[in-house]
Structure 1
Amino acid sequence: MGPFFFIIKICLVLIFDYFAKSLFPEATTLWLILTSFLVCIVIRNTAMFRNLVSSFTNKVSRSSDTILSSRQELLLSLYNLSQYLERSHRANDAKRARYRRMPAKHQHICNSIGYPEKLTLVDTLLARNNDTIMRVYADGIVRHHVTEEDLRQSRRLARSTNHYDYFRVVESLCHLTRDWSESGSTEIQPLIDYICDNSRNLDLKNTTVIVPGSGLGRISHELALMGFKEVHAVDFSWLMTLFNESIYGSRSQMASIYPYVHNYSNHWQTKDQMGLATYRYGIRQPENLHIHCQNFTEFTSPAETAAYNVLIVTCFFIDTAEDLLSYVDSINRICKPFKGKKRWINVGPLKYGTAPKVELSNEELGDLTSAMGWNRIHQLNSPTKLGYLTDTIGLWQGYYGVCMWTAEKKC
């Protein structure tokens, strides 16, 4: 809109306002609202208004970039942990409130079978889960030198961005069960077995291992125990990293969590929701294990400690890529400085998410990785059925068909 037409339109609005107030003086408020509305319509099409909107949008974008810096992501993750008990009790209270809105006679029947007592028991078990959460929280504060001012900043940041991710905290508890408890061994052990079996013939003392998307770190831990020169566990999530780090310490102890307590659905017996998982924490961290919270596509193995060979291990990871080829590019980049054998072991499904730009079958993935320099030297001929954060006695159980293959870089 040119300046001339803008001025004409504003003048017409003002003339309209003048005559309206003169003819209907008793409706001044109405005409003020209507005139303001018309002025907004005129202004929104001007270049000046569009520039202001663009400037504001850029500032918000820059602010978001700052929020997502690694240190502030750490602080927000610590804030999420600190809010677990309050948020989980709030979710349980919402169920309690819905229950109380039932007709009195229906409540009476549910009272007779002990439903209110179940709600109260869930509150108790959530508090016990919080013992684990608070230990992870306290450990993270010490490990990463978090100050009181940092914690105040995290609270301000969370409030200003309306940031809280309760689901991710619950998910981390489930991953803790999967990776480190005895009950989770049916899901994780077959993966460990395949990875270890297909890496034993490497020169362990002269091989660097890199595990992108390492999660709670059990596979990285087992590889470190095998005796590789160094193992780098790399995960983008600070929540996962904090839980992983909290496993290690100077005094081994047992702890308990209740991974299914958050979900009231799909239980055969009431006690199944209250199922207990035990795990050990405070174990010694292998000296050759290094934990990184970092975007894998930006990771570089330290040159001063790099070995002759390199092993990449991807577990339930490659299908998380928006652009799968960028993951392969990053793997090739990481492997390039190594002069010896370059091996890649992959285990996991192909359940693509995060708006993928390409979605490949296992066959197509083999052709693609071959075109990008990798030859498969071993693979299972059919998918292995494995649970993923699955309650094996529940009425709903999630299983993946898992691909397992090993490739080496072409000379």
Structure 2
Amino acid sequence: MWSIIWAAAAICWLCASVVLCDGVSSGQRRGEASAEGLRGVDASDPQYLVYQIRQMEVVLAEDTPLSANLHTERHVREKQMLLQRLDKKEGVRNEHHPRHRLLEALRGFLVYAETQQTELNRLKGLYSHVSKKQKSLLEREVKYSQKFTKIFHLLERNQQVCSEIVRSGMEFYEIEQQEFDEHIRSMKAAGRAPERVSVSQALKHFVRDWAASGANERDAAFPCILKTLKELFPTSDAALQEVKVLLPGAGLGRLGHEVAKLAGFQVTNNEWSAYQNLAYRFLTTHPHNLPNTSTLHPFIASWSHHRTTADMLRPVSFPDAPLNPQSVLLVEGDFTTAFRDAEYTASFDAVVTHFFIDTARNLMSYLDTITRVLKPGGHWVNFGPLLYGSAPFVQLSLDEIIAVAEGTGFEFLDLEAMMPLKGDDKCRLEEVTLPGKRVYGVEAIYGFDERALTRNAYQAQFWVAKMRG
């Protein structure tokens, strides 16, 4: 892992050219650096990276291999199991095979700018139907055609991040260039176009999970979930061992990392999407796990609902907080199959489903899995809407979900009696959604872009259900 260091000897070595050393204590060194002095820094030195300069303060980071990020026993074991699942010899090799899906996601990121440019060219073609007189007005007043040029250049900037995602992904998953090239050729020969929307959505998830501008969405749900976990598992309980929490549908993992910051929790994230997983692996490698070291223009893929063109084109820096890759384990794969092994049976103290249960092809399979992995007396914490997709096997209303969960062995807890959530500025509960049922409504925004002229808001359903022992 790249770790921030203040190495007295190294800093003093740099003193001659860039830093005036003074006040050394406890191996720590700070100094003032002038713009003239910075020209003396050897940028090719592989040991150090000038990470940030704030008010003329130079911070150095030590370079270590990417693989060193994830060296805990459970990370090493899960990596071995993941590579086994990705092996071409495992299972039936078709478009549903995890290796095929991974290669397709890599291809999507590799040609991001190219596929987005195709869409941009389509929009330019539509503009050609505007009359000369109308174009003259548009160009004179708003320089409309310049948007195409600006977006073209910003696509190239986004491609730099996408290319880094590909590089880090190939390294993490141990994909050889020859295999990747062969996959690309075979997909082209089959006339299969690379995915465009999934890549764009993955880039937007950097905003939702790891940018300061996504805080308004996170703040609608995270405080309720975190406070609930702290109340369910107080650290003051001397008999309490490390609490094991599973978060399926984790996306880019921010909620899991916030849970991991609480004392006494061991967190396992789960995500099926290869696009999201590639983005997360990118985040957990240096220097991308250091605050605000990467920048994207995530809103240029859509031309709708922008207040200003500047809002549409604006950059977003991420991550807004440092990541500790060792604090969270990511288990990749479908929630209903990734935890089938006996070792996962009755192994978790809590399952947290955040904006997740309505993604199910079969909600009953989700419920079966939650029931199987929870320990007797374990807790299911849910926060999210019921926005079903186009072809789920069952689409249960809220009262039906409650009835089925109770029939499975869950008891819904009275949150207002358990803790004073109502009136908490950071967790705003509405009245119970159904009379007599311990399920609470919380307004939750979902939309990635806080400056857009539209808002998607759900009456998210928040509950805590305890598995009977």
TM-score normalised by structure 1 residue count: 0.78
1:73 to 98, 101, 107: 101
**d(CA) in 1 for partners of 2:92 and 2:201?**
24
Paired position in structure 2 for 1:146: 175
Q: Residue 79 of structure 1: CA displacement?
A: 0.3
**d(CA) in 2 for partners of 1:80 and 1:308?**
36
1:319 to 355, 358, 363: 358
**d(CA) in 2 for partners of 1:260 and 1:195?**
29
Matching of residues 245-260 of structure 1 within 5 Å: 245-251=281-287, 252-254=290-292, 255-260=294-299
The CA deviation string for residues 244-296 of structure 1, in whole angstroms up to 9 with x for no partner, is 12111344252222222111122222222123322128944342411122111
**d(CA) in 1 for partners of 2:258 and 2:130?**
52
CA contact (8 A) 2:345 2:372 kept: no
Question: Higher Cα Rg: structure 1 or 2?
Answer: 1
**d(CA) in 2 for partners of 1:305 and 1:377?**
25
Residues 283, 304 of structure 1: alpha-carbon distance in 2 compared, 3 angstrom cutoff:
farther
* SS of equivalent residue, structure 2 residue 465: strand
Residues 284, 302 of structure 1: alpha-carbon distance in 2 compared, 3 angstrom cutoff:
farther
Paired position in structure 1 for 2:184: 155
**d(CA) in 1 for partners of 2:372 and 2:341?**
13
Q: Residue 311 of structure 1: CA displacement?
A: 1.0
CA contact (8 A) 1:387 1:398 kept: yes
**d(CA) in 2 for partners of 1:127 and 1:65?**
34
Residues 99, 250 of structure 1: alpha-carbon distance in 2 compared, 3 angstrom cutoff:
closer
Identity within the alignment, %: 25
* SS of equivalent residue, structure 1 residue 184: helix
AA matched with 2:279:
F
Paired position in structure 1 for 2:404: 368
* SS of equivalent residue, structure 2 residue 200: helix
Q: Residue 67 of structure 1: CA displacement?
A: 2.2
Paired position in structure 1 for 2:224: 194
Residues 158, 401 of structure 1: alpha-carbon distance in 2 compared, 3 angstrom cutoff:
farther
**d(CA) in 2 for partners of 1:199 and 1:408?**
13
Matching of residues 240-389 of structure 1 within 5 Å: 240-251=276-287, 252-254=290-292, 255-280=294-319, 283-300=322-339, 310-335=349-374, 338=375, 341-378=377-414, 380=429, 381=432, 382-389=440-447
* SS of equivalent residue, structure 2 residue 167: helix
Greater Cα shift, 171-180 or 375-384: 375-384
AA matched with 1:294:
G
The CA deviation string for residues 69-127 of structure 1, in whole angstroms up to 9 with x for no partner, is 11111111000001101111221122122222332222222221200112111112222
Q: Residue 64 of structure 1: CA displacement?
A: 8.9
Does residue 463 of structure 2 align to residue 405 of structure 1? yes
Q: Residue 304 of structure 1: CA displacement?
A: 6.9
2:140 to 91, 109, 112: 112
Paired position in structure 2 for 1:208: 244
Paired position in structure 2 for 1:43: none
Does residue 275 of structure 2 align to residue 239 of structure 1? yes
CA contact (8 A) 1:247 1:282 kept: no
Paired position in structure 2 for 1:16: none
Residues 362, 173 of structure 1: alpha-carbon distance in 2 compared, 3 angstrom cutoff:
same
CA contact (8 A) 2:115 2:194 kept: no
Paired position in structure 2 for 1:185: 215
CA contact (8 A) 2:379 2:464 kept: yes
* SS of equivalent residue, structure 1 residue 246: helix
CA contact (8 A) 1:136 1:243 kept: yes
AA matched with 1:156:
R
Paired position in structure 1 for 2:262: 226
**d(CA) in 1 for partners of 2:124 and 2:152?**
11
* SS of equivalent residue, structure 2 residue 212: coil
**d(CA) in 1 for partners of 2:456 and 2:336?**
29
AA matched with 1:328:
L
Paired position in structure 2 for 1:59: none
**d(CA) in 2 for partners of 1:290 and 1:116?**
47
* SS of equivalent residue, structure 2 residue 326: coil
Residues 378, 126 of structure 1: alpha-carbon distance in 2 compared, 3 angstrom cutoff:
farther
**d(CA) in 1 for partners of 2:191 and 2:125?**
28
More helix per residue: 1 or 2?
A: 1
Q: Residue 132 of structure 1: CA displacement?
A: 1.9
List alignment gaps of at least 5 residues for structure 2: 1-90, 416-428, 433-439
List alignment gaps of at least 5 residues for structure 1: 1-62
2:197 to 167, 170, 191: 167
TM-score normalised by structure 2 residue count: 0.69
Q: Residue 192 of structure 1: CA displacement?
A: 1.5
Pairs aligned (count): 346
* SS of equivalent residue, structure 1 residue 341: strand
* SS of equivalent residue, structure 1 residue 198: helix
CA contact (8 A) 1:122 1:274 kept: yes
Q: Residue 343 of structure 1: CA displacement?
A: 0.9
AA matched with 2:302:
N
